[in-house]
Amino acid sequence: MISKKNLLIFCGLPLAILLFWNLNKGKIKFSEDKKISSPPTEIKKVIALTSLSADLISNISKEALVGIPGSSILKKNEELKDIPIISSGRMPPNIEKIISLNPDLVVGAKGFHDKTLSKLNDLGIDTVYTSITNFADLEQLHNNLALKLNATNVKPLNEIVENCYSINSDSFSNKKNIVALVSSRPILSPNQNSWAGNLISKFKLKNLAADITSKTEFKGYVNLSPEWLLKSQPENLLVIKTPGSDLKQYNSISIWSDLEAVKNNRIYEFDYYGLINPGGLKVIDEACKKLSSI
């Protein structure tokens, strides 16, 4: 059983994974379930309810972005500092503030912003529901938003997150095996049905937990036992620093010092944003750069 203390330490992950990124795999739903063709009206004002969609829209048409979430990732972007913030933390977006900005389009996450998007849609505001569980979803969302905004001369995604496309083909025949650890109590690891699992496979790394069936409440993540880790002896370990946690937590795993990856110092530290929660283009690119170095 997960203690209250560990549940609090890990609280950022289930919210981001369970509600934010892993619902309706591969679906990018536009209002009225209609496929995008040519936009019926010109879209001049867009509000993004997620940091990733804000990042994408900013790169597609910065002048169109009129509202963003209060994200720690976006706060680091000086180019967005004057754009109104319409949400803070895990609080729902401020509907009144959104309406006051008179947007033509609002982009949010399926499963996390359903109520907000439904209310806005009822008011006649065009909405987009997104879910990103693999790299193909990211590419599709970028292309669809560019089409939705009727944007021209859009910088292609492979020039924005170029490290995600710089994959050394020489390593394909000699796959290095890894296990990624997202928490120590419980020992959670991404399988192939998660954003992290998909990104890992993109770099032809063999995720030893890829085919394990998820029996946890966190879709796309499996609960590993110390005995499984000891038996599997991964060549490389990826450890994730989640919000509110410390990388020292992994030292508390009972068999930690018995793992060959630990003995050989084959431990790679990753931030939560980028590998676990896509979050933004810069952090995704940084995660890809680290994966390519393994």
The yes-or-no verdict on residue 290 having pLDDT over 80 is: yes
Quick: pLDDT tens for 160-210.
999 999 876 555 556 799 999 999 999 999 999 999 999 999 999 999 999
pLDDT for res 245: 82
In CATH terms, the fold of domain 4-16+167-292 is Rossmann fold (3.40.50)
pLDDT for res 40: 53
Total Cβ atoms within 10 A of residue 142: 24
pTM beyond 0.75: the answer is yes
Alpha carbons 215 and 115: distance in angstroms, whole number: 28
Cβ 207 vs Cβ 147: under 8 Å: no
Secondary structure (DSSP) of 100-156: HT--SEEEEETTTSHHHHHHHHHTT-EEEEE--SSHHHHHHHHHHHHHHTT--SPPP
The yes-or-no verdict on residue 11 having pLDDT over 80 is: no
Alpha carbons 236 and 113: distance in angstroms, whole number: 37
> What CATH architecture does domain 28-130 belong to?
3-Layer(aba) Sandwich (3.40)
Q: How many residues does the chain have?
A: 294
Quick: pLDDT tens for 68-96.
999 988 988 888 989 999 998 778 899 99
Cβ 60 vs Cβ 154: under 8 Å: yes
Are β-strands 105-109 and 46-48 bridged in parallel, bridged antiparallel, or unpaired?
Answer: parallel
Quick: pLDDT tens for 138-157.
999 999 999 999 988 899 99
Alpha carbons 19 and 139: distance in angstroms, whole number: 21
The pair phi, psi for residue 24, each rounded to 5°, is: 50, 65
Secondary structure (DSSP) of 186-197: TEEEE-TTSHHH
Total Cβ atoms within 10 A of residue 234: 23
**Looking up tokens 């048409």, which residue turns up?**
61
Output the CA–CA distances (angstroms, integers) from residue 223 to 181, 203, 250, 276, in the order listed.
10, 23, 14, 16
Domain with CATH 3.40.50.1980 in the chain: 4-16+167-292, 28-130
